[in-house]
Structures are given as C-alpha cells and as structure tokens.
C-alpha cells in the first residue's frame, strides 16, 4: 500500500496548471492571482481554454492514480477498496502539495473528482450536481467546490443506505480525508466569502 501511495502522490504532483502556464504563456501560476496551480487560477489568468484543459488534466490525474492502483491490486481483491482509497488520497495530497513545486499546488477538487469517479461512480453524480447548483446560485467556484464535497459525502452515504452503491469503510475514509483537505485548502476563499470579497465568475 505504501508503494501505491507514493506512486499516486507522484502522479498528483505532476502539476497540469504549472505546465500549461509555462508552455502556453511562460507564466508561473504560483506568482499570479491566488498563487494556486489549479484550474480556477488558470482560468482567471490564462483564459477559459487553458482553464478547462487544466481541469480535465487534473481530473485525469485522479482517475489515473486509481487505475494504476487497480493494476497492482485487482478490483476483485478484498484489498481493492483500500488500495483505491490510498491512491486517491495520495493523488489529492500530491496535487495540493506537489514535490516538484515547493509544495505549492492547487485545491484538490478536480483531482478528487477524477478519483471519486472511479471509486464511487454512482455517487459521483451527486458531487457534480452539487457543484453545478453551487455555481448556478453563487457564481463562485469556491462555493461550488465546497458544495461538491458535501454532495460527494451525502450522495455516497445515501446511495449506500439505499443499497444502490457498495459501502466500504476505506471509501468513506477517502471521501472524508479528501473532503477535509479540499476544505482546508479553501481557507482563504472561505475568509473572502465571509467578507463578501470572493470573486465571481462572469461578474
């Protein structure tokens, strides 16, 4: 499991935002805007095209980390849910605190989305719906991101309770740990929301 975690961390550490910023406009996203290398800061400083590209690449990172784990521990194995969770958490941690960029990464939302899609596909829709509703009502990516964390947890618990998804403690640990990391990384955004100073999309 330790090897899976390390590989997933390395995958997560590959910063899509940093690479796109450097290749697209020779911009270091750590030096502009919020300093995040995630999709939102890319969108605001490099434009919608670059922002969408980074979001997609970050989603793929999360999915790739879980896919790699499943090549090591097959899906039918009793340890597969644990391997999935370790890989998913490792990818989110790598994205937020990458080894290659002095520990300055993104917020972990898109990478968490990608991992969650593999691990709890049926509950993934709840996170997406929560994100879309958050954007529709507030036009704040941060609020939508935080809403998606709540949607992921609620969706997973409700669907497993209804018997529409398989419950495993390791999956719940992933949702709680990754969600906690995402909320923690949004502390500056939460402070701005409280002050009424958080930027809105298309405002």
Q: Which pLDDT does position 173 carry in this prediction? A: 97
**With bands split at pLDDT 50, 70 and 90, how would you rate the model's confidence at 100?**
confident
Question: Percentage of the chain with pLDDT > 90?
Answer: 77
Domain range annotation of the chain:
2-195
Half-sphere exposure of 184 (CA within 13 A, CB side): 11
Kindly give the residue spans of alpha helices, DSSP state H, lying in 73-140: 80-96, 109-119, 121-138
Question: Looking at beta carbons, which pairs linking 98-104 to residues 24 or more positions away fall under 8 Å?
Answer: 98/12, 98/13, 98/14, 98/15, 98/37, 99/9, 99/10, 99/13, 100/13, 100/14, 100/15, 101/13, 101/15, 101/18, 101/30, 101/37, 102/30, 104/30, 104/35, 104/37
Task: Return the C-alpha torsion angle 149, 19, 28, 139, nearest 10.
Answer: -30
Give the model's pLDDT for residue 202.
59
Q: What digits encode the pLDDT tens for the residues 30-83?
A: 999 888 899 999 999 999 999 999 999 999 999 999 999 999 998 778 899 999
Say whether pTM exceeds 0.85. yes
Tens digit of pLDDT for each residue in 113-124? Answer: 999 998 998 889
């Amino acid at each position: 499991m330790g090897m899976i975690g390390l590989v997933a961390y390395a995958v997560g550490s590959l910063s899509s935002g940093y690479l796109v910023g450097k290749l697209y406009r020779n911009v270091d996203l750590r030096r502009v805007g919020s300093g995040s290398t995630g999709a939102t800061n890319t969108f605001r400083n490099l434009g919608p095209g670059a922002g969408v590209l980074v979001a997609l690449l970050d989603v793929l990172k999360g999915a790739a980390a879980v896919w790699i784990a499943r090549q090591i521990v097959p899906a039918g194995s009793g340890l597969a849910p644990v391997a999935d969770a370790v890989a998913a958490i490792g990818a989110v941690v790598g994205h937020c605190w990458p080894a290659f960029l002095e520990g300055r990464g993104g917020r972990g939302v898109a990478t968490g989305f990608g991992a969650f899609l593999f691990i709890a596909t049926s509950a993934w829709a709840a996170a997406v719906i929560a994100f879309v509703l958050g954007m529709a009502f507030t036009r704040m990516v941060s609020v939508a991101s935080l809403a998606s964390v709540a949607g992921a947890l609620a969706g997973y618990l409700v669907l497993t309770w209804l018997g529409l998804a398989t419950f495993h403690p390791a999956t719940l640990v992933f949702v709680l740990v990754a969600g906690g990391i995402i909320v923690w990384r949004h502390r500056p955004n939460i402070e701005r929301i409280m002050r009424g100073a958080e930027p809105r999309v298309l405002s």
